[in-house]
Structure 1
Amino acid sequence: MSVFIALAALAVLMLAAYRGYSVILFAPLAALGAVLLTDPSAVAPAFTGVFMEKMVGFIKLYFPVFLLGAVFGKLIELSGFSRAIVAAAIGLLGTRQAILVIVLVCALLTYGGVSLFVVVFAVYPFAAEMFRQSDIPKRLIPATIALGAFSFTMDALPGTPQIQNIIPTTFFGTNAWAAPWLGLIGSLFVLAVGMFYLQRQRHKAFKTGEGYGTELRNEPETPDDLPLPNPWLAVAPLVLVGVSNLLFTRWIPEFYGKTHSLQLAGMATPVQSEVAKLTGIWSVQAALLLGILLVLVCGYRAIRSKLAEGTKTAVGGALLASMNTASEYGFGAVIASLPGFLVLADALKSIPNPLVNEAITVTLLAGITGSASGGMSIALAAMSTTFIEAAQAAQIPLEVLHRVAAMASGGMDTLPHNGAVITLLAVTGLTHREAYKDIFGITLIKTLAVFVVIATFYATGIV
């Protein structure tokens, strides 16, 4: 019964998200409904002590990233930089390669360390322009961005700095380059099959005469008569964000050390910061600030008349996106604390093969919590010792455990209630009904890739 309650809460939230209801409202309702059926006296403490605690903690850490990412994306749009890059890309590659261009741009940014949420804000103006000019249905934009940003460069490609590839290092004593050949094979599988799927969907839409679409929301606001800047100048802010993010990731720990104590004159006690846990966030914020400044300097003439209204729009979008995702984070924390969740996690231990066990456990818990990093953290915290012992008994390198766990976390996490999915749809102005089917197609491909990697390891022994 406890398992049914946890799964029922998940089903309610997914249904609400799919039907277009606000996740900010339904995430606490679904979570607390499950608590009510489990222990009615725990509803109020669970809301304040678990849901709100996790929600506020998420906003505290990540709202600046959402805000700066939204402003950066809006300025890229208003300055005409997005249209200049799209025009250059179409001139060079033609309209037939629009989907591939967007996938590769997303992949480069995420592999450069830019947050997935920032990529959504930054790339959407380019994607909207390119899909409109190529007459590709707008409803395919979310799946295209998901393929480039939420899949192989998030957790499969060796060396990616995304958190999903870093978490396993603390449990298995590995590094971000673990199992490089398996990671490359998994990445190529996801990219190839994902591109085949998206091109097939585009071709089906073309045959039925479906164009970019009408009655659109959140469309880029670049004036049609705006003089386009040089494409090399237009791409410079994106390059600056990626490169400076990498540099700040190295410089910040060198400057502050492992911990930092802030003591100002008006403080009764100092504020202690664990720099290692904040480096990724601080580096992205600093990189986005530099990118925003560069766009303002180079494109101010085009931006100035719409700067006030544009930044208001960006702030509104950032608030909605961050609150949606934070609500999902709170929901996942409440569900993970229920007895039904623990029963389900314990039941997964009975799967005999260690790699298959790990893959199913991680991707299932990521799906339930709606978070790749959250689901993987829960799974590895509870079962990493079991995974390690079983792998050592079967002579499986821990690097393979790392790669399987990382890739599995990015499988079924992108169910309808996932925070990144909700953010992606909100930014693009689309609904679950319009665009989620193709996001789910990418989700299935990504999930299948984990088992392709496992089969490859057992067939060849390659790591």
Structure 2
Amino acid sequence: MAVLVIFLALGLLMLLAYRGYPVILFAPVLAVLAAVLSGLPLLPTYTEVFMVKAVAYVKLYFPIFLLGAIFGKVMDDSGAACSIARGLTRRFGGRQAILAVVLTCAVLTYGGVSLFVVAFAVYPFAAALFREADIPKRLIPAAITLGSFTFTMDSLPGTPQIQNIIPTSYFKTTSFAAPITGITGAFLIAVIGLWWLHRRKNKLMSNGEGYGDHTLNEPAIAEDENLPAIWLSVIPLILVLGGNALFTYVVLPGWYPETLLKQYEGLDIDQVLGVWALILALVFGIAFAIVLQWYYRRKSAVGADKVLVKPGLSRTLTAGATGSLLAIMNTASEVGFGNVIASLPGFKSLADFLLTMKTSPLISEALSINVLAGITGSASGGMSIALDTMGAKYLAWAQSAGIDPELLHRIASMAAGGMDSLPHNGAVITLLAICGLTHRQSYPDIFAITVIKTLVVPVVIVFSMMTGLV
């Protein structure tokens, strides 16, 4: 009965999220419902468990959400994201439309642009390429998923996405943890994912299916729009990636003397190093992108009768900051929900089962995070729940088994980005809306990419354990 209560609450949350109800509202409702059904008091559970854990998540990761959303919005409004998307898609052309879309998404995501901004920026060019080559439009969401929501989100070392930053606080690692494992996994995901998409394209086109007649959200691209050169547009991305590495390994480790840090009780520099490094790197990327926006907005204004004038800086910053609030509050609400679930008697049985599995801590960690990410429909939310409740035990287990904590970090990140993209996932629902498609039309191929991503995780675990490479 105790375990049934957990799955009842989780199932209801999945159903409500799938039907479009706000997670930020219903996560606490269902959390306290599960607590009451398990015999715990309602109000203390809400204020002392749900709210405490949700606020702790906001405290640690709000700067990343805020700066990441602003960076993505400035890249979009400056024309830099559009320039990169247009340049790469033109370079590959219609014959390699799928590769062009995946690579464009990968460059933007790995450079620190928000996943949602990437989808908005790339879709118009993806639609134009697919229409030109008469490739079924239903494959566009899966191509964007492969380029944005998989290997560049959490596999490649140094990626500034939140899914790669969260484990640094639990395992005292950096965002560049386990580079060989991450690159191996990224290569497998990219190759198998592209194979699947091209196989599907050939099968659908051989059956006579083309781009199709679509009227919903069909984009119109302004060919005469004044955009920054592509080489200039990638500089903010390089600043974020390069700055992240520079601050992580060179600047921050010895920046503050220990005597100065002693006044901040409980501060562990290793736990916040990854967050601090990314904050500074994003600031540099934002500053350069703002200069681009200012310069090209002035140039666009000269021919305003032909060219769309970019919005001003105040509107850009406001839109980015506002967008970050909903994103982090939704995730924090899921984290609070998960921690209430983790406090229930039924969850202890599940946790004991995962922790007493006669297997590697990497397998146990991957399984628990994948399941929780799938249930909550959030990679960062599911990973935070799992590591909040079991992170210290996984670390101790790994150390006793002689396993490098960097491997725990990389496997945690990759596992979180597996089954999180089930139908109720907010990013999936948003992506389909952007493309003007339905779950029935496009979700089977998104699910195939999800399965590929999930199955690669045990492969890289075995590879790491057999070779001893990190």
The one-character-per-residue Cα deviations of 1:193-244 (angstroms, maximum 9, x if unpaired) are 1222333455566643345943339x79x75542343222333333333333
Q: Which residue of 2 aligns with 1:194?
A: 193
> How has the CA–CA distance of structure 1 residues 102 and 298 changed in structure 2, closer, same or farther, with 3 Å as cutoff?
farther
Question: 3-state SS of the aligned residue for 1:196?
Answer: helix
With over 3 angstroms needed to count, the CA separation of the structure-2 counterparts of 1:97 and 1:319, relative to structure 1, is: farther
Residue type of the partner of 1:11?
G
Q: How far apart, CA to CA, are the structure 2 residues paired with 1:102 and 1:256?
A: 43
Which secondary structure state, in structure 2, belongs to the residue aligned with residue 227 of structure 1? coil
- CA separation in 2, counterparts of 1:402 and 1:314? 29
Match of 2:459 in 1: 452
Residue 49 of structure 1 is matched in structure 2 by 48
Distance 2:78 2:199 in 1: 33
Report the secondary structure of 2:419's partner residue. Answer: coil
Alpha-carbon distance between aligned partners in 2 of 1:195 and 1:388, rounded to the nearest angstrom: 37
For 2:337, which of 320, 326, 331 is the aligned residue? Answer: 331
The letter of the residue matching 1:325 is T
The corresponding residue for 2:68 is 69
3-state SS in 2 of match to 1:21: coil
> Does the CA contact (< 8 Å) of 2:24 and 2:329 recur in 1?
yes
Task: Report how far residue 134 of structure 1 moved.
Answer: 1.0
CA RMSD for the aligned pairs? 4.2
Per the TM alignment, residue 342 of structure 1 is displaced from its structure 2 partner at its CA by 1.5
Whole-Å separation in 1 of the counterparts to 2:354 and 2:287:
46
Q: Deviations over 1:38-73 (max 9, x none)?
A: 1252x2222222223333343444444434434443
> What's the counterpart of residue 7 of structure 2?
7
Give the conservation status (yes or no) of the 8 Å contact 1:23–1:327.
yes
Counterpart position of 1:381: 392
Structure 1 window deviating more from structure 2 (249-258 vs 128-137): it is: 249-258
Q: Deviations over 1:381-438 (max 9, x none)?
A: 234434554x46xxx7777666545533433344455576677678878876776554
The residue aligned with 2:367 is: 360
Confirm or deny that 1:318 pairs with 2:324. yes
Q: Is the 8 A contact 1:155 1:162 kept in 2?
A: yes
Q: Which residue of 2 aligns with 1:237?
A: 236
For structure 1, the 5+ residue unaligned runs are 264-269
Letter in 2 for 1:6: I
Residues 222-270 of structure 1 deviation map (CA, whole Å, 9 limit, x = unaligned): 755423432223333333333334334443454445686799xxxxxx8
Q: Which residue is 1:214 aligned to?
A: 215
In structure 2, what is the equivalent of residue 39 of structure 1?
A: 39
* Compared CA separation, residues 133 and 259, structure 1 to 2 (3 A): farther
CA pair 194-419 structure 1, distance change in 2 beyond 3 A: same
User: Cα gap change, 1:234/1:35 in structure 2, threshold over 3 Å: closer, same or farther?
Assistant: same
- Letter in structure 1 aligned against 2:89: I
Q: Distance in 2 between matches of 1:254 and 1:379?
A: 31
Shift of 1:346: 0.7
2:347 is aligned to: 341
Question: In the TM superposition, what is the alpha-carbon distance from 1:177 to its structure 2 partner?
Answer: 6.7
Q: Normalising by structure 2, what TM-score?
A: 0.76
Question: What are structure 2's unaligned runs of at least 5 residues?
Answer: 301-307
Q: Give the counterpart of 1:124 among 114, 119, 127.
A: 119
Q: Is the 8 A contact 2:77 2:293 kept in 1?
A: no
**Match of 1:296?**
293
5 Å matches for 1:110-189? 114=112, 118-135=113-130, 143-157=142-156, 182-189=181-188
Answer whether contact 2:158 2:244 (CA < 8 A) is retained: no
Aligned mates of 1:398, 1:58 — CA distance in 2:
22
Name the CA distance, whole Å, in 2 between partners of 1:174 and 1:312: 33
Query: For residue 293 of structure 2, what is the amino acid of its counterpart?
Result: L
Shift, 1:12, TM fit: 1.3
Instruction: Provide the rounded CA distance (Å) in 1 between the counterparts of 2:386 and 2:159.
Output: 17
C-alpha spacing 1:285/1:403, structure 2 compared with 1 (3 Å): closer
**If the length of structure 1 is used for normalisation, what is the TM-score?**
0.77
Q: CA deviation at 1:340?
A: 1.6
CA distance in 1, matches of 2:433, 2:45: 28
Alpha-carbon displacement from aligned partner over 1:310-359 (angstroms, at most 9, x marks no partner)? 55544443333233222222222222222222210112244323254443
Which region of structure 1 is more displaced relative to structure 2, 173-182 or 79-88? 173-182
Mark the CA change 1:108 to 1:365 in structure 2 (over 3 Å): closer, same or farther: same
State the distance in 1 between where 2:390 and 2:418 align.
Answer: 14
* Displacement of 1:92: 1.8
Amino acid at match of 1:306: P
Q: Aligned letter for 1:20?
A: G
The change in CA–CA distance for 1:212 and 1:193 in structure 2 (over 3 A counts) is farther
3-state secondary structure, aligned to 1:49: helix
Shift of 1:366: 4.1
Preserved contact between residue 103 and residue 147 of structure 2 (Cα < 8 Å)? yes
Contact 1:69 1:121 in 2 (8 A): no
Shifted more, 330-339 versus 82-91: the winner is: 82-91
| Contact residue 240 and residue 290 of structure 1 kept, 8 A | no
Counterpart-to-counterpart distance in 2, 1:172 and 1:275: 12
Q: Which residue of 2 aligns with 1:443?
A: 450
C-alpha spacing 1:52/1:448, structure 2 compared with 1 (3 Å): same
Q: Distance in 2 between matches of 1:443 and 1:256?
A: 42
Aligned length in residues: 445
For 2:445 and 2:339, how far apart are their aligned partners in 1? 28
Query: For 2:105 and 2:258, how far apart are their aligned partners in 1?
Result: 31
- Partner Cα separation in structure 2 for residue 352 and residue 75 of structure 1: 49
- 1:160 & 1:337 partners in 2: Cα distance? 32
Partner of 1:267: none
Please give the secondary structure, in 2, of the residue aligned with 1:135.
Answer: helix
Evaluate the alpha carbon distance shift between residue 329 and residue 9 of structure 1 in structure 2; reply closer, same or farther with a 3 A threshold.
same
Cα shift at 1:128: 1.7
Structure 1 residue 142, shift from structure 2 partner:
5.2
Answer whether contact 2:423 2:439 (CA < 8 A) is retained. yes
